[in-house]
Structure 1
């Protein structure tokens, strides 16, 4: 009875943690730590598994050296019965796993102690019919866990699944609100500042035509040019806030944006461009920033873009033959534009890299999982 009361209290404390959490991975790590502290389980890790069966190690607690070696290399690579069962939809409750290739590979590599951990228990993380991944736990010198331990594991997994669903819905609501705010700002800029700049351009043009004084004419021409440049910047900003062209396709939107900022764009596509909306917008935003960098810093009016789609990845390359820059991948990026590109790629589980040198142009390489 005392043990049951302790378990109820533990689940209550974990539920409170999960209900308060707003950042997905930090929330799961905190809840997993609390669970391990209140049970006989010693270590645990969580995989997210997407619709295509790809695994992502999102958090882990108290891993032995053998499993944490080289940034958890052996947990991230290889196969396991739990993941295979999950992919085949044969895993619907907490279960003991008889053989784990990941743990076996880590032990065989002999890169540190395994703390006598040879087996683990697993349970799917889900909310209703929606599945998110797996929670795995283990203890030293333990091959099988009791029915009571597995029942407790199922209970905490249910709580985690509900919390993951809650945060997912919250993030969706935030994205909708952000899109609505972007649309509002874009409308306001178009209806106010954009129209004012256009009026100034017309006024300056009229001043050039009406004035007879050469110095005044030159001043009006400079005002006209500066206002035209500001108008181009404003239109580009409006497009960044609300990309109208995406409804006609990603490449059409990118081409239209290149035209707005005054770039001639050479396009090469390999594969079928059918992406989820979030990936499509990420690619568009990255291309926007890359083309902005070409226009502002490369000193050329032409760029090339390549998109290659494979069964697992999307590769986006933006290349120019402009003035280039000194780039050291080991140093922190100084440009906010470049950092923004890297952050957007990272949010989608991808990477962003550059190759550039003075007077030898710049090449941006984006790889996103698909």
Structure 2
């Protein structure tokens, strides 16, 4: 490589490094980096798959995909197997490869699924940082069936930069989650040691006052104060549970059962096909279940609730039902309560789908489907 080409390559790597260090939103960063890479190399098309340890992949960035691959909201790119992902998953793909014929394009041509834009091949490069792998960078151009050594070396350098950035983002998210957990634990401890104890003292004092009072009117006032203090104490204990869930270390089922028992609900729990869930998803399900049970206790008029948790393909399905009074719900309108909106937001924050089925007098059914 001559000096001019080397300087050009260093310039490309510098521009991409600047993009990678700009933000924390993974999809946005990958999209910007892919656009920059295609622009400076003169390549036409590219896409990035992020791949989890279980082999489940998502299309996180794409530029100028032909009609055959972009139809139906990029459906051909979001499911099914292909050679680059198979080789990545089984460990055969560990460096920039020249060149992989695209099975997705071959299938599109075979089934007449649309114009491929004369794209038939692509180079593929694993995204990695040290021994940790994150996914694949794929690039190509119409009629291009070969990448030379310099092109592959550049792609591999860019892929290493992307992998390092993904590692940085992952570590930052883990640090943020640990800090948030620590703050929740501190707040739960402070509430227990201060407000919780004060409410307990108020309840005992009111009970003593009611026992000592001679006037019926004063007795009734003290009894009312005791009831209010006890209700506030119950609310505080529920809040502490939400901040610092006892039992989650023993799994989501144990935590949900414990919370139902604390609320005085009769919980029927059904689990199918679930072994281990990622921590973030487990906590999301825990929070959704908490909110649903609290709503049931406050509004349904029933003390029975059914929670079903099942693994279906690459998703976990959470279904919560109660036989209570229900309510009128039109899915075209906004969520009728902050609690329901919170459950929907938590589900969508995990890239899932959430919906409600409820009719006045006929109970309520909540469903959350979250990819794993």
Cα 1:255–1:212 shift into 2, 3 Å = same
Query: Mean alpha-carbon deviation: is it higher for 17-26 or for 182-191?
Result: 17-26
Q: Does 1:270 align with 2:284?
A: no
- Contact (CA 8 Å) 1:78, 1:101: kept in 2 or not? no
User: Displacement, 1:182?
Assistant: 0.4
SS of the residue corresponding to residue 37 of structure 1 reads helix
| Residue number among 72, 78, 83 corresponding to 1:76 in the alignment | 78
User: Displacement, 1:302?
Assistant: 1.5
Which residue in 1 is equivalent to 2:145? 143
Q: CA deviation digits over 1:218-267, x for unaligned, max 9? A: 22222222222211111111111101212333222211111222322122
Which residue in 1 is equivalent to 2:232? 230
User: Displacement, 1:312?
Assistant: 4.1
Q: Does 1:40 align with 2:42?
A: yes
CA-based RMSD: 2.1
Q: CA deviation digits over 1:105-131, x for unaligned, max 9? A: 345565654332222111001111100
| Residue number among 311, 317, 320 corresponding to 1:318 in the alignment | 320
SS of the residue corresponding to residue 267 of structure 1 reads strand
- Contact (CA 8 Å) 2:48, 2:61: kept in 1 or not? yes
Which residue in 2 is equivalent to 1:66? 68
Which residue in 1 is equivalent to 2:18? 16
**TM-score normalised according to structure 1 size:** 0.92
Aligned counterparts of 2:130 and 2:19: Cα–Cα separation in 1: 21
- Contact (CA 8 Å) 1:355, 1:363: kept in 2 or not? yes
Query: Mean alpha-carbon deviation: is it higher for 243-252 or for 74-83?
Result: 243-252
SS of the residue corresponding to residue 247 of structure 2 reads helix
Cα 1:323–1:183 shift into 2, 3 Å = same
Matches within 5 A, 1:180-259: 180-259=182-261
Aligned counterparts of 1:214 and 1:233: Cα–Cα separation in 2: 29
User: Displacement, 1:361?
Assistant: 0.8
Q: CA deviation digits over 1:8-44, x for unaligned, max 9? A: 1011011121123212111111111111111121121
Aligned counterparts of 1:166 and 1:105: Cα–Cα separation in 2: 37
Aligned counterparts of 1:121 and 1:339: Cα–Cα separation in 2: 44
Which residue in 2 is equivalent to 1:179? 181
SS of the residue corresponding to residue 101 of structure 2 reads coil
Aligned counterparts of 2:80 and 2:312: Cα–Cα separation in 1: 22
Q: CA deviation digits over 1:278-309, x for unaligned, max 9? A: 33322222211111121222222211122234
Aligned counterparts of 1:325 and 1:61: Cα–Cα separation in 2: 45
- Contact (CA 8 Å) 1:81, 1:97: kept in 2 or not? no
Aligned length: 370
| Structure 1: gaps (5+ residues) | none
Aligned counterparts of 1:246 and 1:100: Cα–Cα separation in 2: 44
Which residue in 2 is equivalent to 1:285? 287
Aligned counterparts of 1:109 and 1:364: Cα–Cα separation in 2: 39
| Structure 2: gaps (5+ residues) | none
SS of the residue corresponding to residue 151 of structure 2 reads helix
Aligned counterparts of 2:296 and 2:140: Cα–Cα separation in 1: 52
- Contact (CA 8 Å) 2:45, 2:63: kept in 1 or not? yes
SS of the residue corresponding to residue 22 of structure 1 reads coil
- Contact (CA 8 Å) 2:82, 2:102: kept in 1 or not? yes
User: Displacement, 1:134?
Assistant: 0.6
